[in-house]
Amino acid sequence: MAGTDINKGAIMEQNFDTITVNGVKYAPIDSVQQTATAVDGMPYMIVRGHSAGVFAGYVKSKNGDEVELVRARRLWYWRGAASLSQLAVDGVKFPDECKFPCEANHVVLGVCEMITATEVARKIIQGVKVWRK
């Protein structure tokens, strides 16, 4: 993001990676909404099954409505995202209040929705403390 400063008739270009307003750091939208980094060519996605619930993980394979996930977490309860689309883009706003069990490999049957996650969302989802009852 570039800004222009007019000082005594001279124009000076300034480059900004982030800006802080009232203590909150903001970044350009194109840097925030980058697709999550793939691992071994596997994209990180939010996957919803008809009966199995919602998962976030690396998609190893897809065959019809069957999806194999690696290092996936079941997203059992979250707070701070209004929809799966928002969760895939922004992650969650209250990670301490979420209930995401540990990572595991899953084969999800009856998949009805797959959403590519951003790098920001991936980091937040993977950073949620493992929930245990």
Domain ranges in the chain are 32-127
How many C-alpha atoms does 115 have within 13 Å on its Cβ side? 21
Closest CA to 121 of 69, 76, 75, 63: 75
Rounded to whole angstroms, the Cα distance separating 25 from 125 reads 20
Tell me the pLDDT tens digit for each residue of 15-67. 556 677 887 766 665 555 788 888 889 999 999 999 999 999 999 999 999 99
Closest CA to 121 of 84, 99, 88, 94: 88
Q: What is the pLDDT of residue 5?
A: 46
Please give the full DSSP string across 94-110, using - where no structure is assigned: -GGG-BB---EEEEE-S
Burial of 90 (0-12, 13-18, 19+ CB in 10 A): middle
Instruction: Name every residue whose Cβ is closer than 8 Å to that of residue 55 and which is 6 or more positions away in sequence.
Output: 46, 47, 48, 49, 69, 72, 73, 74, 75, 106, 108
CATH of domain 32-127: 2.30.30.100
The model carries a pTM of 0.75
Tell me the pLDDT tens digit for each residue of 68-82. 999 999 999 999 999
Amino acid residing at 62: K
Structural tokens at position 114: 């797959």
